Structure 1
Amino acid sequence: MATITTTKAPRSAPTDPETPGWVRWANDHRKWLFAAPAMIFVAVLLVFPLAWTGYLSLTDAEGSVRAESEFVGIQNYLDVLTDTERFWPAVGRTATFTAVALLFEVVLGMAIALLLWRPFKGQRWVRVAILMPLVATPVAVGMMWRLIFDPNIGLANQVLGWVGIGPQPWLAGQHSALPTTIFIDVWQWTPMVVLILLAGLTSLSEEPQEAARIDGASTWQRFRHVTLPLLMPTLTVAILLRGIDALKTFDILYATKGRGGGSFHEVETLNVYAYGLSFDYNEYGVSSTVLILFFLIIIGAMWALTARRKEAQR
């Protein structure tokens, strides 16, 4: 008759009773001790600037951060939140820029990723060409497109002239500047979304696709009912990363329109507005207030997108 023997998991070696207590404690918490220096360094880099900005937002600091300032409490917040000439229009432009740019980047990124998903001749070179915009810095990209969209000598109006269309103001127009900067952002950062979604597509199993194909599902039906649900966690990550980054866009806007977001503040987002208050007018108290409010907006957006990601994973 066969006997069944069970094996027990080996126990950890007993601690030497002569070992000092602090050594035993360090051994039990070694994973936290190894990570502690990096965590403390990051915390200092985040907490100190945020605390200092929060303090300045409660004062009337201007001219110099070392100049004497008085504590004004929440007066700066009341002034900023009731500012319908600069602050709330900047909030609207920030939301418009982020939402429209993110929408186009996700849709185009998904389409391009699906095209690159299946192997074809020259695929490697096509991928390299699509990812090229990510190589250049945003300031260089902004300056390049500023020359292309120049209303007098720009290539864009020359191409329109070849097909019989009159010159357009592009970045110089009060109503066309924001859509043009959105186009520049989409041109540069869509490849980032492509890269994330393509990595997600290549990790998907082929079995659900084959099963749907055998059942007679069309290409659109396979994408809608098979590919998209399986890709949703990756898509949520792409939206989270790119959405927060688009919300903080500054360099492209400043490189193309300069201080104030243009003569009529046509592309003045919260980043550009806070920069102008700090470095153009030296109103550090008010600019710190705008930055704290902007920080809260970013935290709220991160919380909403993270909650959406958790729902997609369920």
Structure 2
Amino acid sequence: MAAVTTPTRSPRRASETPDTPAWARWANDHRKWLFAAPAMIFVAALIVFPLAWTGYLSLTDAEGSVRAESEFVGFQNYVEVLSDTDRFWPAVGRTAAFTVVALLFEVVLGMAIALLLWRPFRGQKWVRVAILMPLVATPVAVGMMWRLIFDPNIGLANQVLGWIGIGPQPWLAGQHSALPTTIFIDVWQWTPMVVLILLAGLTSLSDEPQEAARIDGASTWQRFRHVTLPLVMPTVIVAILLRGIDALKTFDILYATKGRGGGSFHEVETLNVYAYGLSFDYNEYGISSTVLIVFFLIIIGSMWALTSRRKEAQR
């Protein structure tokens, strides 16, 4: 005779009785979400409300004061902003240039330094502490410090160049040298962050693939290119994602070194600096909100592209 099987029921929890209400059983089954719900709602409100308010202002002609009467103008601000070739699109170009160049140097230098710190050596602890020192200072303090170092008249940078026979350079004061100089400052401060992320990824790797490649006669470069880099690539994508989004939003270093408008000729005026000037210098809240919404969409698009690239690297 065929064995008769009876459906099994999930064991009842000790806290549940036959008289336990249905809502109590449901709450017990979903308690992890219920406990996290207040914090999730609070964080969502902090994000959704400012974004919704900014989106609303971008559809009005608000200016002078946020309490002043404003009229709904629809997408007129977006048309005006996207057709602005004097300030908006140059700011987009500077934002892209600042982000891409700074990120390129930070990832390359960060990988090189992380590889040097990967293997233990004497004094490694102190070297790591010294490398991470730039992260201790705030970006505004770093910007003011480098502003004094790069001062054309009394700055240490030109004095050092004079010792080796090179004439003084404008650095932050130059129309064409200001943006590369601010990129250098950003690289100096934030490369240690990339080092920290990549070093964590390298230390989690197994030694077996390296030993196998070494036994097969692979050189140091071949082991890095064909073994280490593919294995650590997901961590590299994480570093690019975190640092890239942060570089896109850079404001404090630029404002501390060049002030309003990113300089007299707007030489370091990125989208953040441009939107800040529209809001607090000219009180054009409708236009500035439009710039911020467009900027937000650029950031979301960049996040999506980098996240997609990370998923491909993990396959």
**Counterpart Cα distance in 1 of 2:183 and 2:171:** 11
Tell me how far 1:303 sits from its aligned partner: 0.2
Quote how far apart the aligned CAs of 1:19 are.
1.1
| CA distance in structure 2 between the partners assigned to 1:79 and 1:242 by the alignment | 31
Shift of 1:13: 5.5
Greater alpha carbon shift after TM alignment, 22-31 vs 39-48:
22-31
**Secondary structure of the residue that 1:265 maps to in structure 2?**
coil
1:16 deviates by 1.7
Q: Deviations over 1:88-142 (max 9, x none)?
A: 0000000000000000000000000000011111111000000000000000000
Q: Deviations over 1:133-164 (max 9, x none)?
A: 00000000000000000000000000000000
Per-residue CA distance 1:194-235 (angstroms, 9 max, x = gap): 000001111100000000000000000000000000000111
State the Cα distance separating 1:305 from its structure 2 match. Answer: 0.3
Match in the other structure for 1:5:
5
User: Per-residue deviation at 1:240?
Assistant: 0.4
TM-superposed CA distance for 1:274, in Å, is 0.1
1:173, 1:25 → 2: CA distance?
A: 66
Question: How far has the Cα of 1:170 moved from its partner?
Answer: 0.1
- CA positional deviation for 1:17: 2.2
* Cα displacement (A) at 1:9: 9.4
* SS across alignment from 1:205: coil
The range that moved more, 172-181 or 24-33, is 24-33
Aligned to 1:107: 108
- Cα offset for 1:29? 1.1
The separation in 1 between residues aligned to 2:56 and 2:165, in whole angstroms, is 58
Classify the secondary structure of the residue corresponding to 1:136. Answer: coil
Separation in 2, partners of 1:19, 1:92: 63
Give the drift of 1:3: 18
Q: CA deviation at 1:14?
A: 9.0
Distance 1:141 1:120 in 2: 30
Per-residue deviation at 1:18? 1.0
Identity, % of aligned pairs? Answer: 90
1:160–1:2 distance in 2 versus 1, CA, 3 Å: farther
Aligned residue number for residue 27 of structure 1: 28
Q: Partners of 2:9 and 2:110 in 1: how far apart?
A: 52
Distance 1:215 1:40 in 2: 55
Change in CA separation of 1:258 and 1:16 when aligned onto 2, cut-off 3 Å:
same
- Judged with a 3 Å threshold, the aligned counterparts in structure 2 of structure 1 residues 11 and 208 are, in CA distance, closer, same or farther, namely farther
CA deviation map 1:58-91 (0-9, x unaligned): 0000000000000000000000000000000000
Residues 4 and 119 (structure 1 numbering): CA distance in 2 closer, same or farther, change over 3 Å?
farther
Change (3 A) 1:180 1:18: same
Distance 2:296 2:194 in 1: 24
Q: Secondary structure at the match of 1:161?
A: helix
Query: 2:93, 2:243 → 1: CA distance?
Result: 19
1:252 Cα offset (Å) = 0.2
Unmatched segments (≥5 aa) in structure 1: none
Using the size of structure 2 for normalisation, the TM-score is: 0.96
1-side partners of 2:174 and 2:201: how far apart?
40
CA displacement, residues 222-270 of structure 1 (integer Å, 9 cap, x when unaligned):
0000000000011110000000000000000000000000000000000
Kindly tell me: are residues 11 and 212 of structure 1, through their superposed partners in 2, closer, same or farther at Cα, counting changes over 3 Å? farther
Give the C-alpha shift of residue 24 in structure 1: 1.2
Q: TM-score, normalised by structure 1?
A: 0.96
Aligned pairs for 1:70-219 (under 5 A) are: 70-219=71-220
Deviation at 1:21, TM superposition (A): 2.2
What residue ranges of structure 2 are gaps of 5+ in the alignment?
Answer: none
- Give SS of 2:196's match: helix
Q: How many residues align?
A: 314
Calculate the aligned-residue CA RMSD, in Å. 2.9
> Take 2:221 and 2:20, find their aligned partners in 1: how far apart are those partners?
67
Give the match's secondary structure for 1:174: coil
Measured in 2, the distance between the counterparts of 1:187 and 1:241 equals 17
Change (3 A) 1:99 1:4: farther
Distance 2:130 2:117 in 1: 12
- Which whole-Å CA distance do the structure 2 matches of 1:215 and 1:146 have between them? 52
More displaced 10-residue stretch of structure 1: 6-15 or 104-113: 6-15
Tell me by how many angstroms 1:25 deviates. Answer: 1.5
